[in-house]
Structure 1
Amino acid sequence: MSPSVLTYLNRGLAVTVADFPGLGSPSGQHPYLDSYSAARSMIDSVRALRRVYPHVSARWLTYGVSQGGGAAWATAEIAASYAPELQLLGAAAQVPSTDKAGLVDRAIEGTLTIEQQGIYQWLLESLARQHGTLNLDELRAPQLRAVWDQLSLCGGDTAREHALHTVTAEDFLPRSEAAIEYLRGLLEPMSPPHRRSSAPLLVIYGGEDRFVDASGTESSITQACEWGSTVAIDYQSTAGHLTVDTSSIWPFFKQRLGGVPAQDNCE
């Protein structure tokens, strides 16, 4: 069992771990990085828990990392309307994947890191499986197409890791303005924020993150603040994607459970 799950169980909380659509069950194609699809799964996991254990409180918290961080952020937006029978108290979004359009910008500029190249390829493959009208060949070079199947394998597969080191950022340069605009149109509905959050947010991110650009996270925070969301910011200038300090999460959750007003760094 995950140490973090045990930590929260030992603090007296019931815990669910959501399966995102297409993962863990035969539920169709996985909409990779679609924060709102994953958010509905998070909320539904709480509903399922309370159906099995009716005594579990309707007050709850959500937490996610990277893809799950974007999902936790989206959950904070839709929870009140999607599940009015539940009371979301707060959401912790750790190194959240929110700014998908930023990956397109970096592809155009030829500045994708090797880590972002892997994320972007998965994202394009996922979108192509869902939208047959997306022409991948307008978004990739021939040498990238040659290793596409290997790149579409699961993370950690040696064939995928080898393929990632045979391509460059220039191989992801889009070939068509129309394809770029179509791609942006697909990504926009997947990418929070879109509205005021119904619960306070804690956003943890690092300045040396090679997967999720800090500038993209900051842009998302600015947008959330403009919508009127309450956002507590934990920016760590020297931290990377997997090395951020998460010690701020439990105090944030404990305050939400105790009814303490949330810190708001938007001002």
Structure 2
Amino acid sequence: MRPILAVLLFAALLAAPAQPAAAATGGTLLESRPLAVPAELAAAGATGFRIRYLSTSPRGRRIEVTGAVFLPSGTAPPGGRRVISWAHGTTGVSDRCSPSRDRELGGFGYPGYLAGFVRRGYAVAATDYEGLGTPGVHPYLIAESQARSVVDAVRAAGDLSPDVSRVWLTVGHSQGGHAAMAAGEIAAGYGRGLDFRGTVALAPVTDNRPYVDRLSRLRPVDHGYYMAILAGLSTQHPGLRLADYLGPRARREYPRVHTTCMAELTNRLTKLNLPGTEFTPATRAAAEKLRGRLGGNAVPRARSAGPMLVAQGLTDVLVSPAQTAKAARHARALGTATKLITYPGTGHYQILTSSAPDVLRWIDARLRR
């Protein structure tokens, strides 16, 4: 068979709908379609697919999640291609913000970063997370939800191609660092049947409780993130009253969190420059309730099923280096073998390139054995 014809036939087979949802279990691939890959991934020889797969919500409800899978070219090694389950940083809460629908995969240099994994022969499974591009509100920074989406993306990648192995590792940035850490904690239970090798968390969001004491002093650039946090908590706590946490002007802007992506929302709120009183909890009791709900999603929560590498830039103004160091110490106290590497002069998005050599060495040591 001619090479070009073989590639087209392979793509056509993978684009066919998978087994019916009625017979499906968590991680079952429901549908795949060829995906035009960004230039950086194309240069790395990646073939891309947009996928729709089954997962389970934290309340036990069967849900569908979308994402993307990038497969390297060439012959798979014995045992199949190891999987990097990629967890992206904050793009927004609206369905418009799902990375698999964005040619730049959410931005922030992610296509080039993922190309580094593909060049080393790894398959990449990149979840959009629950509610981004599928029915329902995205449970932003809800640990269990994001973790399950990350785990089930690995199973879906295995359904997509017989060249994909059960051996996997998760890498996440910012919001995705939170998701990756949570995924490592459920890998032994919810991820049963897969072979988990570890977690890489890049500038991870770990604990938003310190936010509560400085909500009245938030910079306008942070107002959209706070609204997204409230949107996420509302999926876990349906009784959450916005009037307890947002003033009247902020509440008028809040619906935009469900219709715009984070950059657009942030730009608007920065221009509005609403006063801090619009983001101050109405009562001390409301503040304490918010603190408790945020604490319920703080990570780490338990010992991970594998070792963990945490990378943090020391000039990061979005994720506190001190908070990340505290989370790493807590992970060690819980029994997780945790290595923290810090990078002077590195900000929140520069951590991707600054840490890449260390991250790739760490990953290779765990996946190439």
TM-score range, shorter chain: 0.7 to 0.9
Q: Is the 2:209–2:294 Cα contact (8 Å) retained in structure 1?
A: yes
Do structure 1's residue 35 and structure 2's residue 111 form an aligned pair?
no
- 2:164 maps to 56
- Which structure 2 residues correspond to residues 33-182 of structure 1 after superposition, within 5 A? 33-107=141-215, 110-128=216-234, 130-150=236-256, 153-157=260-264, 160-165=266-271, 166-182=273-289
Separation of aligned partners in 2, 1:213 and 1:169? 21
Separation of aligned partners in 1, 2:269 and 2:127? 30
Q: Deviations over 1:50-105 (max 9, x none)?
A: 12323422111111111111111111111111112111112111111111212223
Moved more, 175-184 or 13-22: 175-184
Do structure 1's residue 221 and structure 2's residue 328 form an aligned pair?
yes
- 1:200 maps to 307
1:90–1:126: structure 2 CA closer, same or farther, 3 Å change rule?
A: closer
Do structure 1's residue 23 and structure 2's residue 129 form an aligned pair?
no
Q: Which runs of 5+ in 1 are unaligned?
A: 260-267
Separation of aligned partners in 1, 2:270 and 2:286? 23
Q: Greater CA radius of gyration, 1 or 2?
A: 2
- 1:5 maps to 114
1:130–1:79: structure 2 CA closer, same or farther, 3 Å change rule?
A: closer
1:219–1:112: structure 2 CA closer, same or farther, 3 Å change rule?
A: farther
Do structure 1's residue 240 and structure 2's residue 350 form an aligned pair?
no
State the shift of 1:163 in Å. Answer: 2.3
Letter in 2 for 1:124: L
Q: Which runs of 5+ in 2 are unaligned?
A: 1-36, 38-110
> What is the aligned residue count?
255
Moved more, 69-78 or 202-211: 202-211
State the shift of 1:224 in Å. Answer: 0.8
Identity level (%): 34
Separation of aligned partners in 1, 2:115 and 2:126? 12
- 2:338 maps to 231
State the shift of 1:151 in Å. Answer: 5.5
Separation of aligned partners in 2, 1:129 and 1:168? 27
RCO higher in structure (CA 8 A, sep ≥6): 1
Between Structure 1 and Structure 2, the one with more strand by share is 2
- 2:290 maps to 183
State the shift of 1:130 in Å. Answer: 5.0
- Give RMSD over aligned pairs: 2.1
- 1:257 maps to 367
Separation of aligned partners in 1, 2:158 and 2:257? 39
State the shift of 1:150 in Å. Answer: 4.1
What SS does structure 2 have at the residue aligned with 1:81? coil
Q: TM-score, normalised by structure 1?
A: 0.87
1:217–1:114: structure 2 CA closer, same or farther, 3 Å change rule?
A: farther
Moved more, 61-70 or 187-196: 187-196
Separation of aligned partners in 2, 1:221 and 1:123? 23
1:209–1:227: structure 2 CA closer, same or farther, 3 Å change rule?
A: same
1:62–1:31: structure 2 CA closer, same or farther, 3 Å change rule?
A: same
Separation of aligned partners in 2, 1:64 and 1:53? 23
Letter in 2 for 1:231: T
What SS does structure 1 have at the residue aligned with 2:123? coil
Q: TM-score, normalised by structure 2?
A: 0.64
Separation of aligned partners in 2, 1:256 and 1:75? 17
Q: Is the 1:150–1:160 Cα contact (8 Å) retained in structure 2?
A: no
Separation of aligned partners in 1, 2:247 and 2:133? 33
1:56–1:254: structure 2 CA closer, same or farther, 3 Å change rule?
A: same
